[in-house]
Amino acid sequence: MKVVIPAAGLGTRFLPATKSMPKEMLPVLNRPVIQYVVEEAIAGGADDITIVTGRGKRAVEDHFDHNPDLGGSGTRASLRELEEVMGKAAFHFVRQRTPRGLADAIACAEHHVGNEPFGVLLGDSIHVSETPLLTQLRTTFERMGGKASVVALERVPRDKLSSYGVAGGTPVDLQVIRVERLVEKPKPADAPGDTALTGAYYLTPAIFGAIRATPPDRKGEVQLTDALARLVATEGVYGLIFEGRRYDTGTPLLWLEANVRFALRDPAYRDRVIEIFRESTRAESATRPSEAPAP
Protein backbone atom coordinates (compact mmCIF):
# COMPACT_ATOMS: atom_id res chain seq x y z
CA MET A 1 0.00 0.00 0.00
CA LYS A 2 1.16 3.51 -0.76
CA VAL A 3 1.09 5.92 2.15
CA VAL A 4 1.65 9.67 2.13
CA ILE A 5 2.90 11.37 5.28
CA PRO A 6 2.58 15.16 5.14
CA ALA A 7 5.36 16.68 7.25
CA ALA A 8 5.61 20.16 5.77
CA GLY A 9 3.72 22.17 8.42
CA LEU A 10 5.51 25.02 10.14
CA GLY A 11 4.88 23.93 13.74
CA THR A 12 3.80 27.41 14.83
CA ARG A 13 2.01 25.98 17.91
CA PHE A 14 5.38 24.84 19.27
CA LEU A 15 7.65 27.84 18.76
CA PRO A 16 10.45 28.52 19.54
CA ALA A 17 11.36 24.78 19.68
CA THR A 18 10.27 24.34 16.08
CA LYS A 19 11.93 27.46 14.68
CA SER A 20 14.73 25.49 13.03
CA MET A 21 13.77 21.93 13.98
CA PRO A 22 10.91 20.06 12.28
CA LYS A 23 8.02 19.41 14.70
CA GLU A 24 7.97 15.84 13.37
CA MET A 25 11.47 15.34 14.87
CA LEU A 26 10.43 16.16 18.44
CA PRO A 27 11.14 13.04 20.52
CA VAL A 28 8.57 10.97 22.34
CA LEU A 29 10.90 9.07 24.68
CA ASN A 30 13.86 8.17 22.44
CA ARG A 31 12.20 8.26 19.02
CA PRO A 32 11.06 11.20 16.91
CA VAL A 33 7.31 11.41 16.37
CA ILE A 34 7.64 10.69 12.64
CA GLN A 35 9.32 7.36 13.35
CA TYR A 36 6.21 6.23 15.24
CA VAL A 37 4.09 7.37 12.29
CA VAL A 38 6.25 5.44 9.80
CA GLU A 39 6.16 2.33 12.05
CA GLU A 40 2.37 2.63 12.23
CA ALA A 41 2.19 2.91 8.43
CA ILE A 42 4.33 -0.20 7.95
CA ALA A 43 2.33 -2.16 10.53
CA GLY A 44 -0.78 -1.26 8.51
CA GLY A 45 0.67 -2.62 5.27
CA ALA A 46 2.62 0.30 3.77
CA ASP A 47 5.45 -0.77 1.49
CA ASP A 48 5.86 2.58 -0.26
CA ILE A 49 6.01 5.78 1.81
CA THR A 50 6.12 9.32 0.48
CA ILE A 51 6.99 11.96 3.04
CA VAL A 52 6.08 15.49 2.00
CA THR A 53 8.62 17.87 3.47
CA GLY A 54 9.39 21.55 2.99
CA ARG A 55 11.89 24.22 3.93
CA GLY A 56 13.90 23.37 7.05
CA LYS A 57 12.80 19.73 7.11
CA ARG A 58 16.01 18.07 5.97
CA ALA A 59 16.42 16.32 9.35
CA VAL A 60 13.34 14.23 8.46
CA GLU A 61 15.05 12.91 5.32
CA ASP A 62 18.32 12.31 7.16
CA HIS A 63 16.51 10.30 9.83
CA PHE A 64 15.51 7.65 7.29
CA ASP A 65 18.98 7.49 5.71
CA HIS A 66 22.23 5.90 6.90
CA ASN A 67 24.67 8.09 8.82
CA PRO A 68 28.24 6.88 8.08
CA ASP A 69 29.58 8.85 11.09
CA LEU A 70 27.66 6.45 13.36
CA GLY A 71 29.22 3.34 11.74
CA GLY A 72 27.86 1.02 9.08
CA SER A 73 24.36 -0.35 9.29
CA GLY A 74 23.88 -3.10 11.89
CA THR A 75 26.75 -1.87 14.10
CA ARG A 76 24.67 -0.13 16.78
CA ALA A 77 21.94 -1.89 18.73
CA SER A 78 20.22 1.45 19.40
CA LEU A 79 19.72 1.96 15.64
CA ARG A 80 18.64 -1.59 14.84
CA GLU A 81 14.88 -0.99 15.11
CA LEU A 82 15.07 2.06 12.88
CA GLU A 83 17.21 0.23 10.32
CA GLU A 84 14.66 -2.59 10.25
CA VAL A 85 11.88 -0.08 9.61
CA MET A 86 13.93 1.51 6.81
CA GLY A 87 14.26 -1.88 5.14
CA LYS A 88 10.53 -2.59 5.08
CA ALA A 89 9.36 0.14 2.70
CA ALA A 90 10.59 2.26 -0.19
CA PHE A 91 10.93 5.88 0.97
CA HIS A 92 10.35 8.88 -1.24
CA PHE A 93 10.58 12.54 -0.35
CA VAL A 94 8.87 15.39 -2.15
CA ARG A 95 8.98 19.04 -1.15
CA GLN A 96 6.07 21.39 -0.84
CA ARG A 97 7.58 24.64 -2.04
CA THR A 98 5.27 27.00 -0.19
CA PRO A 99 3.22 26.15 2.90
CA ARG A 100 -0.22 26.22 1.26
CA GLY A 101 -2.07 23.82 3.50
CA LEU A 102 -2.51 20.11 4.12
CA ALA A 103 -4.40 19.34 0.89
CA ASP A 104 -1.77 21.14 -1.17
CA ALA A 105 0.94 19.06 0.57
CA ILE A 106 -0.88 15.82 -0.31
CA ALA A 107 -1.28 17.00 -3.91
CA CYS A 108 2.54 17.17 -4.10
CA ALA A 109 2.50 13.35 -3.94
CA GLU A 110 -0.08 12.89 -6.71
CA HIS A 111 2.42 11.97 -9.38
CA HIS A 112 3.86 9.26 -7.17
CA VAL A 113 0.55 7.87 -5.87
CA GLY A 114 -1.03 7.47 -9.29
CA ASN A 115 -4.50 6.05 -9.74
CA GLU A 116 -5.03 3.85 -6.68
CA PRO A 117 -6.42 4.28 -3.16
CA PHE A 118 -3.75 5.29 -0.64
CA GLY A 119 -3.28 5.97 3.05
CA VAL A 120 -2.47 9.33 4.65
CA LEU A 121 -1.08 9.70 8.17
CA LEU A 122 -0.19 13.14 9.52
CA GLY A 123 3.45 13.42 10.57
CA ASP A 124 2.73 14.88 14.03
CA SER A 125 0.06 12.50 15.35
CA ILE A 126 0.62 9.03 16.79
CA HIS A 127 -2.22 6.52 16.74
CA VAL A 128 -1.88 3.53 19.03
CA SER A 129 -4.24 0.63 18.44
CA GLU A 130 -4.40 -3.12 18.64
CA THR A 131 -5.21 -3.50 14.93
CA PRO A 132 -3.06 -1.00 12.96
CA LEU A 133 -5.17 2.03 12.07
CA LEU A 134 -4.53 1.80 8.32
CA THR A 135 -5.75 -1.81 8.42
CA GLN A 136 -8.90 -0.64 10.21
CA LEU A 137 -9.43 2.08 7.57
CA ARG A 138 -8.79 -0.22 4.61
CA THR A 139 -11.07 -2.94 5.99
CA THR A 140 -13.83 -0.35 6.39
CA PHE A 141 -13.20 0.92 2.83
CA GLU A 142 -13.70 -2.61 1.49
CA ARG A 143 -16.67 -3.34 3.78
CA MET A 144 -18.41 -0.17 2.52
CA GLY A 145 -18.07 -1.22 -1.12
CA GLY A 146 -14.53 -0.13 -2.04
CA LYS A 147 -15.47 3.15 -3.73
CA ALA A 148 -15.55 5.85 -1.04
CA SER A 149 -12.73 7.38 1.04
CA VAL A 150 -12.65 6.65 4.79
CA VAL A 151 -11.51 9.07 7.50
CA ALA A 152 -10.54 8.20 11.09
CA LEU A 153 -12.75 9.88 13.71
CA GLU A 154 -12.86 10.23 17.46
CA ARG A 155 -15.47 11.78 19.70
CA VAL A 156 -14.26 15.06 21.14
CA PRO A 157 -15.86 17.33 23.80
CA ARG A 158 -17.85 20.16 22.16
CA ASP A 159 -15.54 22.91 23.46
CA LYS A 160 -12.53 21.25 21.76
CA LEU A 161 -14.12 20.71 18.33
CA SER A 162 -12.91 24.06 16.95
CA SER A 163 -9.32 22.69 16.84
CA TYR A 164 -10.25 19.96 14.33
CA GLY A 165 -11.98 19.04 11.13
CA VAL A 166 -15.44 17.91 12.27
CA ALA A 167 -17.71 15.34 10.60
CA GLY A 168 -21.45 14.83 10.87
CA GLY A 169 -23.59 12.16 9.23
CA THR A 170 -25.78 9.10 9.57
CA PRO A 171 -24.61 6.02 11.49
CA VAL A 172 -24.12 2.88 9.39
CA ASP A 173 -23.27 0.81 12.47
CA LEU A 174 -21.66 1.40 15.87
CA GLN A 175 -18.27 2.36 14.37
CA VAL A 176 -19.04 3.76 10.93
CA ILE A 177 -20.91 6.86 9.80
CA ARG A 178 -21.84 7.91 6.28
CA VAL A 179 -20.47 11.44 6.29
CA GLU A 180 -22.89 14.16 5.21
CA ARG A 181 -21.03 17.30 6.34
CA LEU A 182 -17.41 18.15 7.00
CA VAL A 183 -16.27 21.48 8.41
CA GLU A 184 -12.68 22.48 9.16
CA LYS A 185 -12.24 24.06 12.61
CA PRO A 186 -15.87 25.15 13.07
CA LYS A 187 -17.15 27.56 15.71
CA PRO A 188 -18.90 25.39 18.37
CA ALA A 189 -22.34 26.44 17.08
CA ASP A 190 -21.46 25.44 13.49
CA ALA A 191 -20.02 21.98 14.25
CA PRO A 192 -21.92 19.37 12.21
CA GLY A 193 -21.40 16.64 14.83
CA ASP A 194 -19.21 15.64 17.76
CA THR A 195 -16.65 13.52 15.89
CA ALA A 196 -13.29 15.00 14.89
CA LEU A 197 -10.88 13.98 12.13
CA THR A 198 -7.79 12.59 13.86
CA GLY A 199 -5.38 12.86 10.94
CA ALA A 200 -5.56 9.39 9.35
CA TYR A 201 -7.27 8.75 6.02
CA TYR A 202 -7.71 6.08 3.34
CA LEU A 203 -8.40 8.07 0.18
CA THR A 204 -9.43 7.33 -3.37
CA PRO A 205 -7.43 9.07 -6.12
CA ALA A 206 -10.51 11.27 -6.79
CA ILE A 207 -9.20 13.38 -3.90
CA PHE A 208 -6.64 14.95 -6.26
CA GLY A 209 -9.32 16.40 -8.57
CA ALA A 210 -11.24 17.56 -5.49
CA ILE A 211 -8.12 19.31 -4.15
CA ARG A 212 -7.63 21.12 -7.47
CA ALA A 213 -11.25 22.30 -7.33
CA THR A 214 -10.98 23.54 -3.73
CA PRO A 215 -10.23 27.23 -3.21
CA PRO A 216 -7.79 28.27 -0.45
CA ASP A 217 -9.26 29.42 2.88
CA ARG A 218 -8.79 32.91 4.38
CA LYS A 219 -5.23 32.05 5.42
CA GLY A 220 -4.36 30.99 1.85
CA GLU A 221 -4.32 27.28 2.76
CA VAL A 222 -6.13 24.53 0.86
CA GLN A 223 -7.72 22.30 3.51
CA LEU A 224 -8.03 18.54 3.08
CA THR A 225 -11.34 18.69 4.98
CA ASP A 226 -12.75 21.08 2.33
CA ALA A 227 -11.58 18.81 -0.51
CA LEU A 228 -13.14 15.79 1.24
CA ALA A 229 -16.39 17.73 1.62
CA ARG A 230 -16.54 17.82 -2.20
CA LEU A 231 -16.25 14.03 -2.35
CA VAL A 232 -19.23 13.72 0.03
CA ALA A 233 -21.46 14.85 -2.86
CA THR A 234 -19.88 12.55 -5.47
CA GLU A 235 -18.29 9.24 -4.37
CA GLY A 236 -19.32 9.61 -0.72
CA VAL A 237 -17.09 9.53 2.37
CA TYR A 238 -17.27 7.24 5.41
CA GLY A 239 -16.01 7.98 8.91
CA LEU A 240 -14.62 5.28 11.19
CA ILE A 241 -14.64 5.79 14.95
CA PHE A 242 -11.42 3.87 15.23
CA GLU A 243 -10.39 1.45 17.96
CA GLY A 244 -7.38 2.89 19.75
CA ARG A 245 -6.00 6.15 21.01
CA ARG A 246 -4.47 9.16 19.35
CA TYR A 247 -1.67 11.39 20.60
CA ASP A 248 -1.29 14.82 19.04
CA THR A 249 2.21 16.20 19.66
CA GLY A 250 1.70 19.63 18.12
CA THR A 251 1.72 21.77 21.31
CA PRO A 252 4.08 21.60 24.32
CA LEU A 253 1.34 20.33 26.65
CA LEU A 254 0.08 17.64 24.24
CA TRP A 255 3.66 16.56 23.52
CA LEU A 256 4.36 16.35 27.25
CA GLU A 257 1.21 14.27 27.77
CA ALA A 258 2.28 11.87 25.00
CA ASN A 259 5.71 11.48 26.63
CA VAL A 260 4.25 10.81 30.08
CA ARG A 261 1.72 8.29 28.78
CA PHE A 262 4.30 6.46 26.65
CA ALA A 263 6.74 6.42 29.59
CA LEU A 264 4.10 4.93 31.89
CA ARG A 265 3.56 2.06 29.43
CA ASP A 266 7.26 1.33 29.00
CA PRO A 267 9.02 -0.79 31.68
CA ALA A 268 12.31 1.02 30.94
CA TYR A 269 10.83 4.33 32.19
CA ARG A 270 7.71 3.54 34.19
CA ASP A 271 8.98 3.05 37.76
CA ARG A 272 11.26 6.06 37.74
CA VAL A 273 8.56 8.32 36.26
CA ILE A 274 6.05 7.26 38.94
CA GLU A 275 8.74 7.92 41.57
CA ILE A 276 9.33 11.42 40.17
CA PHE A 277 5.59 12.17 40.35
CA ARG A 278 5.42 10.88 43.95
CA GLU A 279 8.46 12.91 44.99
CA SER A 280 7.11 16.08 43.39
CA THR A 281 3.64 15.65 44.91
CA ARG A 282 5.19 15.11 48.36
CA ALA A 283 7.47 18.13 47.96
CA GLU A 284 4.53 20.26 46.82
CA SER A 285 2.26 19.32 49.71
CA ALA A 286 5.13 19.91 52.18
CA THR A 287 5.56 23.51 50.98
CA ARG A 288 1.81 24.26 50.75
CA PRO A 289 0.43 26.19 53.76
CA SER A 290 -1.62 23.97 56.07
CA GLU A 291 -5.23 23.67 55.01
CA ALA A 292 -6.32 22.45 58.44
CA PRO A 293 -8.91 24.73 60.06
CA ALA A 294 -7.61 26.91 62.87
CA PRO A 295 -8.48 25.48 66.30
* Contact positions vs ligand G1P (CB under 6 A): 9, 102, 122, 125, 164-165, 184, 196-199, 223-225, 248, 250
Our CB check for ligand G1P shows the closer of 42 and 126 to be: 126
Least distance from ligand G1P to the Cβ atom of residue 273, Å = 26
Instruction: Decide whether 9 or 119 has the Cβ nearer to ligand G1P.
Output: 9
- Closer residue to ligand G1P (CB): 82 or 101: 101
Helix axes 270-287, 252-265, angle to 10 degrees: 120
Query: What angle separates helix 133-143 from helix 33-43, to the nearest 10 degrees?
Result: 40
Q: State in angstroms the smallest separation of the CB of 190 from ligand G1P.
A: 14
Q: What's the rounded Cα separation, in Å, for the pair 151 and 121?
A: 10
Report the nearest approach of ligand G1P to the CB of residue 220 (Å): 14
In the bound state with ligand G1P, the residue whose beta carbon lies nearer, of 143 and 261, is 261
Q: How far is the CB of 100 from ligand G1P (least distance, A)?
A: 13
Buried b / exposed e across 209-230, counting CB within 10 Å, b at 16+?
ebbeebeeeeeebbbbbbbbbb
* 250: nearest Cα among 198, 203, 211, 202: 198
Cα 248 to Cα 255: distance, rounded to the nearest angstrom: 7
Please, what is the minimum distance in Å from the beta carbon of residue 162 to ligand G1P?
10
Question: Rounded to whole angstroms, what are the CA distances from 275 to 6, 17, 29, 208, 257?
Answer: 38, 28, 17, 51, 17
> Is residue 35 within 8 Å of residue 123, measured between CB atoms?
no
| 56, amino acid identity | G
CB of residue 292 vs ligand G1P: minimum separation in angstroms?
Answer: 46
Q: Report in angstroms how near the CB of residue 250 gets to ligand G1P at its nearest.
A: 6
| Category of 11 on φ-ψ map: left (φ > 0), alpha (ψ -120 to 50) or beta | left
Amino acid identity of 205?
P
Closer to ligand G1P at the Cβ: 82 or 214?
214
Between 105 and 176, name the residue whose CB sits nearer to ligand G1P. 105
Which residue of the chain is nearest ligand G1P when measured via CB?
165
Q: Is 67:89 a contact under the CB 8 Å cutoff? A: no
**104 vs 184, which CB is nearer to ligand G1P?**
184
